[in-house]
C-alpha cells in the first residue's frame, strides 16, 4: 500500500481517531495517529483536540524533522511516529493508543507475547512489551527504536501501545486485535489461567501467517526480547558475592 495523498490522509485520520475514541481504545485526549504522505511529509493528529470530534481540517502536516508545515500543533509523541517511519520503510501508518485491557494486563504482570490463542499470530505476530520510558520525552523513541525495527505491535510499559501498518486500517486492526487479545487473556487469568500453545505449533502458525522473513529485519541486528528482562535481584547478587568471598 503506497503512502497517501494529503486530503485522503486527513479524512482517514479523522475517521480513525473518532473510531478509536468511540471504541474506548484511547481516552479523548490520549494517543495519536499519523500517516506517511506521498510527498515525504507526514499527516498527524493535533495536540489538545478531542479524538471523538476530530475533523480533517484539524490534522497537522509535518516534515521528516518534525517541523510543522501550516496551521496546528502536532501531538506530543510525534518523535515516536517519526522514529517508526525512519526504522521501517514498509510502514505508512502509526497509531499510539491507550488500550485499557492491554495496559491492565501488563500492569498485572501478564505477558502478551505468550500465544494462548492462534489468531493473535495472524493479527499481531508477536506482541512485544518495551521497557518504561517517560512520555513525551526523547526517551520514548530511544527506548522504542529497536522494538519498532522488529515488531508491528508493541506495548509500552505503564503507558500504552504502538501499532504499525502499511496503511491506517491495518494499524487500527492491530490495535483492535491487541485489545481483544488482552481481554481474552485477562479473562482467562481470572478463571485460573491457561497453558500457551506448544512452541512447535506456534512455529507452524508463524509459517502460515508470515511465510517470508520480515523485510525490515536487518541481518546481524538482533531483536530485543518481547518481554522486559526481570529486574536483577540485588539480594541474590549480594548472596553470590558473599558465597564467593567465603570460598
Closest CB 207 distance from Zn ion, rounded Å: 34
Interatomic CA distance for residues 185 and 169, integer angstroms: 24
Q: Alpha helices of 88-224 — where are they, by DSSP H?
A: 100-107, 119-123, 139-150, 168-190, 199-209
Cell numbers describing residue 82:
517519526
Closest CB 96 distance from Zn ion, rounded Å: 6
Q: Residue 74 or residue 160: which is nearer to Zn ion going by CB?
A: 160
The reply on whether position 74 binds Zn ion by CB under 5 A is no
The reply on whether position 160 binds Zn ion by CB under 5 A is yes
Number of residues that bind Zn ion (CB under 5 A): 1
Contact 197, 118 (CB under 8 A): yes
Beta-bridge mates of residue 42: 36, 62
Q: Alpha helices of 1-77 — where are they, by DSSP H?
A: 6-22
Question: Which part of the chain contacts Zn ion (CB under 5 A), choosing from 5-13, 20-28, 160-168, 179-187?
Answer: 160-168
Q: Residue 4 or residue 26: which is nearer to Zn ion going by CB?
A: 26
Cα–Cα–Cα angle for 21, 26, 29, rounded to 5 degrees: 85
Question: Which part of the chain contacts Zn ion (CB under 5 A), choosing from 116-124, 154-162, 193-201, 237-245?
Answer: 154-162
Residue of minimal CB distance from Zn ion? Answer: 160
Question: Which part of the chain contacts Zn ion (CB under 5 A), choosing from 110-118, 126-134, 144-152, 156-164?
Answer: 156-164
By the criterion CB under 5 A, which residues form the site for Zn ion? 160
Amino acid at each position: 500500500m503506497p503512502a497517501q495523498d494529503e486530503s485522503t490522509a486527513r479524512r482517514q485520520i479523522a475517521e480513525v481517531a473518532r473510531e478509536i475514541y468511540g471504541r474506548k481504545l484511547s481516552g479523548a485526549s490520549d494517543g495519536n495517529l499519523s500517516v506517511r504522505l506521498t510527498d515525504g511529509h507526514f499527516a498527524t493528529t493535533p495536540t489538545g483536540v478531542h479524538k471523538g470530534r476530530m475533523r480533517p481540517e484539524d490534522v497537522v502536516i509535518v516534515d521528516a524533522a518534525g517541523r510543522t508545515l501550516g496551521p496546528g500543533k502536532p501531538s506530543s509523541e510525534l518523535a515516536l511516529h517519526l522514529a517508526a517511519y525512519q526504522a521501517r520503510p514498509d510502514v505508512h501508518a502509526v497509531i499510539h493508543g491507550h488500550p485499557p485491557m492491554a495496559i491492565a494486563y501488563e500492569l498485572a504482570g501478564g505477558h502478551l507475547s505468550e500465544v494462548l490463542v492462534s489468531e493473535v499470530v495472524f493479527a499481531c505476530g508477536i506482541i512485544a512489551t518495551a521497557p518504561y520510558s517517560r512520555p513525551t520525552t526523547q526517551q520514548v523513541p530511544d527506548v522504542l527504536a529497536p522494538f519498532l525495527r522488529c515488531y508491528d505491535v508493541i506495548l509500552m510499559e505503564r503507558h500504552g501501545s504502538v501499532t504499525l501498518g502499511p496503511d491506517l486500517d491495518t494499524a487500527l486492526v492491530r490495535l483492535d486485535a491487541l485489545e481483544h487479545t488482552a481481554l481474552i487473556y485477562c479473562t482467562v487469568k481470572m478463571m485460573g489461567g491457561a497453558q500457551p500453545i506448544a512452541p512447535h505449533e506456534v512455529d507452524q502458525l508463524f509459517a502460515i501467517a508470515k511465510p517470508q522473513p520480515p523485510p525490515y529485519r536487518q541481518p546481524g541486528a538482533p531483536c530485543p526480547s518481547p518481554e522486559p528482562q526481570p529486574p536483577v535481584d540485588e539480594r541474590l547478587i549480594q548472596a553470590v558475592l558473599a558465597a564467593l568471598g567465603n570460598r
